[in-house]
Chain A
Amino acid sequence: MTYFELFQLPYGFAVDLGALTITYRDLQKAVHPDNFANASSHEQLMAVQKTAEINDALATLKHPLRRAEYMLHLMGVDIRAEQQTLQDPAFLMAQMELREALDDARHADDPDAALATLTSQTQSDIDQYFNDLTPILDAQDQANAENAADFIRKLKFLYKFLDEIERLEDELFSD
């Protein structure tokens, strides 16, 4: 059973988050360990495992990057645990420049505005990659599976960069 089938959603990158949440709650009500607080230890253990599985399925479908990785995995390409790095000098160079820009933002006159600019710039890059990625995943286009894997590797860099922006925000504006 795929996560899409588990949540009774049509296969596709665009996910109806409302429907996802409703089904999630129904599933949780059926298997949550609280329903088995008085049951045999075996049922309790199973409830924990099933609930964990459902929680993980939800987290996977909810987050666009994890959803994309999962859909690629359904196409037979699993990059979720890979150790290899990206071979795209131009992209990597751009990443280094972004990180330098982040360092500059720390000392900018208006760090808040500098960070906001970086965030929206990164976000629009992310949107662009998803635009290119969606048709490949939706059509399960095997000929382009490697391209899709590359898009996702790049998206990982960009999401990591968003995390770094947020960390700096926390550091600068925690009071």
Chain B
Amino acid sequence: MALLQIAEPGQSAAPHEHKLAAGIDLGTTNSLVATVRSGEAKTLVDHEAQDMLPSVVQYQQNGVNVGRLAKQSATQDPQNTIISAKRFLGRTLSDIQHTFGQLPYTFKESDGVVSMQTVSGEVNPIQVSSEILKTLGKRAEDSLGGDLQGVVITVPAYFDDAQRQGTKDAAKLAGLHVLRLLNEPTAAAIAYGLDSGNEGTIVVYDLGGGTFDVSVLRLNQGVFEVLATGGDTALGGDDFDHTLLARFCELAEHQEELTPEQVRYLLDQARYVKEQLSSQDVVTVSLETTGFAWKGEFSRADFDILIQPLVQRTIRTCRRVLKDADVKAEEVQEVVMVGGSTRVPLVREKVAAFFQKEPLVSIDPDKVVAIGAAIQADILVGNKPDSEMLLLDVTPLSLGLETMGGLVEKVIPRNTTIPVARAQEFTTFKDGQTAMSIHVLQGERELVDDCRSLARFALTDIPPMAAGAAHIRVTFQVDADGLLSVTAMEKSTKVAASIQVKPSYGLSDTQVADMIQSSMQHAKEDIQARMLREQQVEADRVLESIQSAVDSDGEKLLSQEELNQISETMRQLATARQSGDVEEIKTAIERVDQATSEFAQRRMDDSIKQALTGQSVDEV
């Protein structure tokens, strides 16, 4: 890592230094990492020149295998080899068992966290995901020759709060700084939008290994706006494989329950047959493993009949999302295909028929998301200060509160542009009531039982008043990553309570810290060293951002005295950074934050003024 240069205010150290950033497509079946080099976004390959990393992690007694090696061992070692862990992120055990049927793992649930038993102990889906992220982060750093300043990680647009939080926790565990969680369809649109300069209404149809989503986006003058999004977090190409597996069992007249090894073998074979049928009409299938044998021909027509209901489900979702976006199928100008499963001919046929146009497939559907993420990461890290691109995202699901009678009152309806803050007022219903329980829910249905419970917390110490006299204001805030925090306050007394929504079945901060600690012990890394490194990177980030803010607006918005004060705290931070003391750096960062808060406010107001004046000049 380069030593920090302290520049005098007014002189930036290295204004055009290229910062290292990467886009990561954390997929169900495969994951990729891409970056922008010499103005072009490309996926990065491993030492075997492969860019796709199978999202498979094999746990061994003393270490882990990630990727192809792990995938190859899946048949022999199914219980220790975790495949498609993304599908389990943010899920309860009963969700998983109900949705995915036969799986070769021994699940366990404690404190609301689902984990799987392996030879190296229990592992949860967040830990599995973090191994994949770690591998890709390392690949990027090796290939770019330096530390990553930040990454953009993509998630299905339909991911709920728990699943997004899980993804962010996994990145934290992997030691990656997340610039933004980006919706996969938006990433795909970025990849296509910047390449071809499209304008108009675009649908992104993304059928991956384990998730399906469809989004309606409007592109206009560099602005990407998600009009609506919908999908199914438990539908994907893996389901084609499972359907095919069930058919194989029928054909082989196999009645007994399958062993984990047999399941693994048959799923691999099913995937192979599915892939063959994308380019051939008939495949000769030969299944042979311990206690299971079948040989025969299998045609695309046979396959189409099997998967027809699944594909139809995706078309139904398309119809609903178009309706949400208030767009008619014939108004859609382009349909972008994303995800390996869109290679299945029946999928392309059905999509083309529904939208009455041939879908776009010119960018590899497996890479398009990573490429879009890399472009966004490059912009966010600050390599393209003149970029005109702006992403406007929406909430995928409605957020609300439980009210009397087990009903849900929506506070933020689905497809609201984020970031967003909304408040709703409630009152006490009993005389002298001093506490109120607040239950946060996500979903579209009216009854609490039909929605997903995100969090519960209590507002206590409300002074006793007559029923209906207290005014309790509950505020929901969703940030640009789609993560929710909720605060509640009694207005007359200012008694407040708040929660960063950590879903009831997710991980607490302590759990994440423990996991980081245990992964450290595993890797024999020094936790102190890592914390120091993280604080130093943070210090560099703060210094650099304040410096550039001072360079551009210091003279205009600050008095000499204020400027001196800010410079002084920055000097202190720079000294603290060299001290090697984590706490000292933390304190110094807080001091800079405090000294610059007024400045930040003025800059924000000034840029709003600028935006508005700029416009009236244009209009003249």
Question: When chains A and B are docked, how far (Å) is the Cα of A83 from the Cα of B471?
Answer: 11
Binds B, one of A53-61, A111-119, A144-152: A53-61
Residues 595-620 of B contacting A (Cβ, < 8 Å): 596-597, 600-601, 603-604, 607-608, 610-612, 614-616
Question: When chains A and B are docked, how far (Å) is the Cα of A52 from the Cα of B615?
Answer: 21
For residue A37, which residue of chain B has the nearest CB?
B380
**A74 CB within 8 Å of chain B:** no
Selected contact of A38 from candidates B150, B468, B480, B616, CB within 8 Å:
B150
Chain A residues contacting B477 (CB-CB under 8 Å) are 48, 52
Selected contact of A42 from candidates B179, B380, B596, B614, CB within 8 Å:
B596
Cβ-defined contact, B381 with A34, below 8 A: no
Closest Cβ of chain B to A40, distance in Å, is 5
Mind listing 11 A-B residue pairs with CB under 8 Å?
A: A8-B615, A25-B390, A28-B223, A28-B390, A31-B604, A31-B608, A38-B149, A38-B382, A40-B596, A52-B477, A59-B417
With A8-B612, A34-B390, A48-B419 already in contact, the answer to whether A39 and B480 are too (CB < 8 A) is no
Closest Cβ of chain B to A10, distance in Å, is 14
**B198 CB within 8 Å of chain A:** no
Closest Cβ of chain A to B190, distance in Å, is 12
Cβ-defined contact, A26 with B615, below 8 A: yes
Selected contact of B607 from candidates A8, A31, A83, A174, CB within 8 Å:
A31
Question: When chains A and B are docked, how far (Å) is the Cα of A29 from the Cα of B379?
Answer: 13
Question: When chains A and B are docked, how far (Å) is the Cα of A38 from the Cα of B544?
Answer: 9
Cβ-defined contact, B379 with A30, below 8 A: no
For residue B422, which residue of chain A has the nearest CB?
A56
Cβ-defined contact, B419 with A51, below 8 A: yes
Closest Cβ of chain B to A53, distance in Å, is 7
For residue A39, which residue of chain B has the nearest CB?
B545
Cβ-defined contact, A83 with B603, below 8 A: no
Question: When chains A and B are docked, how far (Å) is the Cα of A122 from the Cα of B382?
Answer: 51
**B555 CB within 8 Å of chain A:** no
Residues 1-49 of A contacting B (Cβ, < 8 Å): 8, 22-23, 25-34, 37-43, 46-49
With A25-B390, A30-B610, A31-B607 already in contact, the answer to whether A40 and B542 are too (CB < 8 A) is yes
Residues 46-95 of A contacting B (Cβ, < 8 Å): 46-53, 55-56, 58-59, 81, 83
Cβ-defined contact, B596 with A33, below 8 A: no
Cβ-defined contact, A42 with B593, below 8 A: yes
**B492 CB within 8 Å of chain A:** no
Cβ-defined contact, A55 with B593, below 8 A: no
**A175 CB within 8 Å of chain B:** yes
User: What is the interface of chain A mostly: helix, strand, loop, or mixed?
Assistant: helix
Cβ-defined contact, B425 with A81, below 8 A: yes
Cβ-defined contact, B427 with A37, below 8 A: no
Residues 337-362 of B contacting A (Cβ, < 8 Å): none
With A23-B615, A43-B600, A50-B604 already in contact, the answer to whether A37 and B549 are too (CB < 8 A) is no
Selected contact of B612 from candidates A26, A53, A58, A175, CB within 8 Å:
A26
Write the B478-504 contact mask toward A (1 if CB under 8 angstroms, else 0). Answer: 011000000000000000000000000
Chain B residues contacting A8 (CB-CB under 8 Å) are 612, 615-616
For residue B223, which residue of chain A has the nearest CB?
A25
**B416 CB within 8 Å of chain A:** yes
Chain B residues contacting A83 (CB-CB under 8 Å) are 427, 468
Chain A residues contacting B544 (CB-CB under 8 Å) are 38
For residue B479, which residue of chain A has the nearest CB?
A48
Closest Cβ of chain A to B90, distance in Å, is 23
With A38-B545, A52-B421 already in contact, the answer to whether A27 and B180 are too (CB < 8 A) is no
Residues 159-175 of A contacting B (Cβ, < 8 Å): 170, 174-175
Cβ-defined contact, B420 with A29, below 8 A: no
Known: A22-B615, A42-B597, A83-B468. 16 other contacts (CB 8 A): A25-B390, A27-B612, A29-B390, A29-B611, A33-B419, A33-B479, A33-B480, A34-B380, A39-B549, A46-B604, A48-B479, A55-B419, A56-B420, A58-B417, A81-B424, A83-B427
For residue A26, which residue of chain B has the nearest CB?
B611
Selected contact of B421 from candidates A23, A37, A49, A81, CB within 8 Å:
A49
**B392 CB within 8 Å of chain A:** yes
Question: When chains A and B are docked, how far (Å) is the Cα of A108 from the Cα of B545?
Answer: 64
Cβ-defined contact, B427 with A28, below 8 A: no
Question: When chains A and B are docked, how far (Å) is the Cα of A71 from the Cα of B381?
Answer: 41
**B74 CB within 8 Å of chain A:** no
Question: When chains A and B are docked, how far (Å) is the Cα of A43 from the Cα of B603?
Answer: 9
With A26-B611, A28-B392, A34-B390 already in contact, the answer to whether A42 and B600 are too (CB < 8 A) is yes
Chain B residues contacting A32 (CB-CB under 8 Å) are 390-392, 480
Question: When chains A and B are docked, how far (Å) is the Cα of A59 from the Cα of B417?
Answer: 9
Question: When chains A and B are docked, how far (Å) is the Cα of A38 from the Cα of B461?
Answer: 39
Question: When chains A and B are docked, how far (Å) is the Cα of A26 from the Cα of B149?
Answer: 28
Question: When chains A and B are docked, how far (Å) is the Cα of A10 from the Cα of B252?
Answer: 74
Chain A residues contacting B390 (CB-CB under 8 Å) are 25, 28-29, 32, 34
Chain B residues contacting A28 (CB-CB under 8 Å) are 223, 390, 392
Closest Cβ of chain A to B597, distance in Å, is 5
Cβ-defined contact, B545 with A40, below 8 A: yes
Closest Cβ of chain A to B219, distance in Å, is 12
Selected contact of B150 from candidates A37, A40, A47, A53, CB within 8 Å:
A37
Question: When chains A and B are docked, how far (Å) is the Cα of A31 from the Cα of B612?
Answer: 12
**B418 CB within 8 Å of chain A:** yes
Chain B residues contacting A52 (CB-CB under 8 Å) are 418-421, 477
**B546 CB within 8 Å of chain A:** yes
Question: When chains A and B are docked, how far (Å) is the Cα of A52 from the Cα of B477?
Answer: 8
Residues 521-558 of B contacting A (Cβ, < 8 Å): 541-542, 544-546, 549
Closest 3 CB pairs of A and B: A30-B611, A37-B380, A81-B425
